[in-house]
A and B are shown apart, each in its own frame.
Chain A
Amino acid sequence: MSLQLEPTAEEIQSQRLYTDMGVKDHEYKRIVQLIGRKPNYTEIGLFSVLWSEHCSYKHSKPLLKQFPSSGTHILQGPGEGAGVVDIGDDQAVVFKVESHNHPSAVEPYQGAATGVGGILRDVFSMGARPIALLNSLRFGPLATPHVRYLFEEVVAGISGYGNCVGVPTIGGEVQFDETYAGNPLVNAMCVGLIEQKHLQKGIAAGVGNTVMYVGAPTGRDGIHGATFASEELNESSAEKRPSVQVGDPFTEKRVLEACLELVKSDALVGIQDMGAAGLTSSAAEMASKEGSGIDMNLDVVPQREKGMTPYEMMLSESQERMLLVVQKGREKEMEAICQKWDIESAVIGTVKEDQQLTLEFQGQVVADVPVTALTDEAPVYDVPSEEPFSYQEHQQLPTWRPKRKDHNATLLELLERPTIASKEWVYDQYDHMVQTNTLVMPGSDSAVLRIRGTKKALAMTMDGNSRYIALDPYIGGKIAVAEAARNIVCSGAEPLALTDCLNYGSPEQPNIYWQLEQSTAGMSQACNTFETPVVSGNVSLYNETNGEAIHPTPIVGMVGLVKDLEHVTTQHFKQAGDYIYVIGEAESAWGGSELQLLEDGEISGKVPHMDLDLEEKRQQQVLGAIRDGLIQSAHDISEGGLAVAVAECVMDTEFGAAMTMENNAAELFSETQSRYVISVAPEHAQELEQAIPDARRYGTVTEEKALSIKTREEQTLILQPTDTLTHVWKGAIPCLVRSKV
């Protein structure tokens, strides 16, 4: 649509054209009040994207505020491209998670790929070199061809982008559940490393300074992506998408190297990526953070297509672009660096005193709006919250008990469940070794990367079991954080901080808002207990298909610090003859468990209990014992309970395990929280038992490659060769993917 053909301000009002952009009637009125006149087409476009849920957090802001976000080691909490945490030696770790659910539902390969691209830019825009990528994925059951297509393409997209950029994808998680059949989740996390002195901010400071555009030219990609991400999916979603964003990892790699060089120059004042809502949000946010304004000349914005209008340029979500503020007079230095990396750059504007975002195009002012109206004045909704009936119903249900008696068969069936099965099929496609720092590769509780030149290492993980949260968002929220922390501890690291991605249905539904409220409250409490502040995150709402919301799915991405490489621990058994201990007692905790789902096809009842103080105490004990060199291997007990956990300890090893326990389904399969299975060299047994009083010896790592679990009366509960376990566990996903029926 050319400029002349755009609807006039009057038409926008009289025909309520703003509603097509996702702006509500009362929001429109408020905009008119704020700018003192009717907005033109470009201006209403700016508001529509910045006031979308994706950019303004209008339904979630009050909830996010309750997260603890500071601490002595926190250098940057939420509000910038990514959170920053001090790890000593003048170094810091930088990380954030981002969702790309909606784009991935429509075009899975590109949706996932550009999700990776976006989160990388968030991290290197802080001045940090990306050192790791992780991802958390949710799909429907692999039984349908469309889900298999989504799954294969999403994984291929992540692999295609991350591998090319040369950042190892070292971890993540994948779960499958009916609830995601129409609305897959693709959350990507990036971790970067920085020398603290290079830390950058996205600010437009210094009146008279120059605004520069760096990176790929702008096309008509993904216009209204931010709005799109703030709506539920329906049949017309495919058409609505004007043009899917296509990622170009080769350009990203060059933009990355160029930016890491740019940030070393003192001529650079501020830098931010153009993410959701592109040029609009980066310009408005950079000005807003500094209380300044920006004048921009859109004629000089690098363009890929002919005849683009201001509206299109401002709302485009073309990938691989950055916005810089540079000291006046030093533009040439920046240009030279861009040229070296063969990246386009252009001087497109100036920082000014009045707090207006003013856009010129072909000699006319095409938009002139107060920056604060776009950002700070974005509406925040006090949404009604209502506990759903189902919650009380589940609470009242009598305790669920498994009916199966054949534990041997149950174990194999659990290992075959795609949610539990090995994800090797996925991570084999990710380059998880490039940069040669990966100490613990995908396949253990957390991935661990060494920091060259130091004795330190970083552990990282992503977790979030939505089944608990669906039944009980408050306890489920606590569990999500606790599980992530437990995974970090198992690898020998101390949890530092976390980033979170809140994937929910429509917050305008009181029941869903209640889920948000309860789960974030639970998460906050856990963060407080573990002293792991939330330093960054992302909110993805309206994850619904034709009115049906997904399970509430907050994903936690956590980073921990290994103080000494000696402490790095994995879940795999290390030596025959080592004693196997289980820490924590099993209770009959079945609500939301994998076994319940296996037996009933649905989840119900009360979720496992979560005592945060006990959780914290055990984490300290386990970490202490690891640091004291008492522990050979450590694995937390989660989906599928102890039997699955022990099976995972023997798989991919030359060993087996011989254990004795009660003939009790809870012992074997319950998902009681705050539990671990560890192995300990016999000479350390006594010391360990003192250090961790809740540790009970259950058996021994054996040379014989089989998992044998018996009762004290020598009744066999489980007997499976290690190879069978491995075969079933590793074969499950490839087999499902290959089946074309």
Chain B
Amino acid sequence: MKAAVIVFPGSNCDRDMAHALQDFTDVKTVDLIPHTAESVDRYDAIFLPGGFSYGDYLRSGAIARFAPVMESVVSEAKKGKTVVGICNGFQILLEAGLLPGAMKRNTNLKYICRTVNVKVENSGTRFTSDYEEGEVLRIPIAHGDGNYECDEQTYETLKMNHRIVFSYESDVNGSTGRIAGITNEAGNVLGMMPHPERAMETLLGSEDGRGLFTSVYHHWRDTHVVTT
């Protein structure tokens, strides 16, 4: 499997994401792809990392969504490729319209960095198959704009179609329905605020984030590698 980690100007979790993929999964190729790249079509999975793309000026993700590489990201997403946006990556996917809803400031108006309990609401996705449904993960959050907002109808749709993949066990930032991560309708695009790439090693406090990356890998293997 070949994975692309997109580097926007101002991304700062790009290397962490690449380490997570490289050091803890069997993914063969992990490339850091600059925001100016024309195409990412040769990759099997595309990761949008956290950070402050374009300083998060105006709104988080608002400017990054127009980075040259995004055209290809959007078209690959529409073709069904795996796309994962974490933190700022999630915000960019929202701004790009690949996922519904928007982010507002955390209710306490402060940046929050701490490890929280994140519940796996749906283990039937390509992002969560290595987790148990209902499993509670210890994963760090680190964001100022993680207060997920959507209208009632969108929320009902998300819920009904099991597209709420992760939720916070307690209200940390004001998110509608304590949503921490959602997928698109087709189920190939995931956005989540918590940082699984920061939860890869017990040495650093938790390895509960691994399942996300291994799930993505296993999904690719199961759909691409013919076993005899």
A565 at the interface (CB under 8 A from B): yes
The reply to whether A436 and B200 contact each other, CB–CB distance below 8 Å, is yes
A565 to B204, CA, bound (A): 12
A430-B55 CB under 8 A given contacts A163-B142, A342-B9, A435-B16: no
Chain A residues, Cβ within 8 Å of B203: 439, 450, 565
A438-B15 CB under 8 A given contacts A428-B112, A433-B140: no
A253-B197 CB under 8 A given contacts A428-B114, A429-B111, A429-B113: no
The reply to whether A163 and B200 contact each other, CB–CB distance below 8 Å, is no
**Of the residues B54, B56, B144, B204, contact of A438 by C-beta under 8 Å:** B204
A689 to B58, CA, bound (A): 61
The reply to whether B113 and A249 contact each other, CB–CB distance below 8 Å, is no
Residue of B nearest to A250 (CB): B55
The reply to whether A164 and B19 contact each other, CB–CB distance below 8 Å, is no
Main secondary structure on B side of the interface with A: mixed
The reply to whether A429 and B13 contact each other, CB–CB distance below 8 Å, is no
A565 to B55, CA, bound (A): 35
Chain B residues, Cβ within 8 Å of A249: 52, 55
Chain A residues, Cβ within 8 Å of B56: 164
A248 at the interface (CB under 8 A from B): yes
Number of interface residues of A (CB under 8 A): 31
Residue of A nearest to B56 (CB): A164
Chain B residues, Cβ within 8 Å of A435: 15-16
The reply to whether B55 and A248 contact each other, CB–CB distance below 8 Å, is yes
Number of interface residues of B (CB under 8 A): 29
A165 at the interface (CB under 8 A from B): yes
Chain A residues, Cβ within 8 Å of B16: 434-436
Chain A residues, Cβ within 8 Å of B200: 436
B65 at the interface (CB under 8 A from A): no
Instruction: For residue A154, give the distance in angstroms from its CB to the closest CB of chain B.
Output: 13
The reply to whether A164 and B52 contact each other, CB–CB distance below 8 Å, is yes
Chain A residues, Cβ within 8 Å of B198: 433-434, 436
Chain B residues, Cβ within 8 Å of A163: 52, 111, 113, 142, 144
The reply to whether B111 and A253 contact each other, CB–CB distance below 8 Å, is no
A519 to B55, CA, bound (A): 42
The residue among B9, B19, B55, B113 with the most chain A CB atoms within 10 A of its own CB is B113
The reply to whether A431 and B142 contact each other, CB–CB distance below 8 Å, is yes
B129 at the interface (CB under 8 A from A): no
A563 at the interface (CB under 8 A from B): no
B211 at the interface (CB under 8 A from A): no
Chain A residues, Cβ within 8 Å of B204: 433, 436-439
The reply to whether B9 and A430 contact each other, CB–CB distance below 8 Å, is no
B57 at the interface (CB under 8 A from A): yes
A248 to B15, CA, bound (A): 22
B10 at the interface (CB under 8 A from A): yes
A166 at the interface (CB under 8 A from B): yes
Residue of A nearest to B55 (CB): A250
A249 to B57, CA, bound (A): 11
A431 to B113, CA, bound (A): 5
Instruction: For residue B37, give the distance in angstroms from its CB to the closest CB of chain A.
Output: 13
Chain B residues, Cβ within 8 Å of A427: 113
Chain B, 182-224, CB within 8 A of any chain A CB = 195, 197-198, 200, 203-205
Residue of B nearest to A438 (CB): B204
A165-B12 CB under 8 A given contacts A250-B52, A250-B55, A439-B203: yes
B2 at the interface (CB under 8 A from A): no
A164-B113 CB under 8 A given contacts A253-B10, A434-B13, A436-B197: no
Q: What 0/1 pattern do residues 149 to 160 of A give for CB contact below 8 A with B?
A: 000000010011
The reply to whether B113 and A166 contact each other, CB–CB distance below 8 Å, is no
Chain B residues, Cβ within 8 Å of A432: 113
A254 at the interface (CB under 8 A from B): yes
Q: What 0/1 pattern do residues 405 to 430 of A give for CB contact below 8 A with B?
A: 00000000000000000000001111
Residue of A nearest to B19 (CB): A436
A450 to B200, CA, bound (A): 15
Instruction: For residue B51, give the distance in angstroms from its CB to the closest CB of chain A.
Output: 6
The reply to whether A428 and B10 contact each other, CB–CB distance below 8 Å, is no
A342 to B10, CA, bound (A): 11
The reply to whether B10 and A429 contact each other, CB–CB distance below 8 Å, is no
Chain A residues, Cβ within 8 Å of B140: 433
Instruction: For residue B185, give the distance in angstroms from its CB to the closest CB of chain A.
Output: 32
Chain B, 45-94, CB within 8 A of any chain A CB = 50-52, 54-57
Chain B residues, Cβ within 8 Å of A250: 9-10, 52, 54-55, 57
Residue of B nearest to A155 (CB): B110
A160 to B54, CA, bound (A): 14
Instruction: For residue A522, give the distance in angstroms from its CB to the closest CB of chain B.
Output: 37
A251 to B52, CA, bound (A): 11
A434-B112 CB under 8 A given contacts A164-B55, A250-B52, A439-B203: no
Apart from A250-B9, A430-B111, list 7 A-B contacts with CB within 8 A: A250-B10, A250-B52, A253-B9, A254-B10, A341-B9, A436-B16, A436-B197
8 examples of A-B residue contacts, CB within 8 angstroms: A163-B144, A164-B10, A164-B55, A250-B52, A253-B52, A428-B110, A430-B113, A434-B50
The 6 closest A-B pairs by CB, nearest first: A166-B12, A250-B55, A164-B52, A436-B16, A431-B142, A431-B113
Partner-A contacts on B (CB < 8 A):
9-10, 12-13, 15-16, 19, 50-52, 54-57, 110-114, 140, 142, 144, 195, 197-198, 200, 203-205
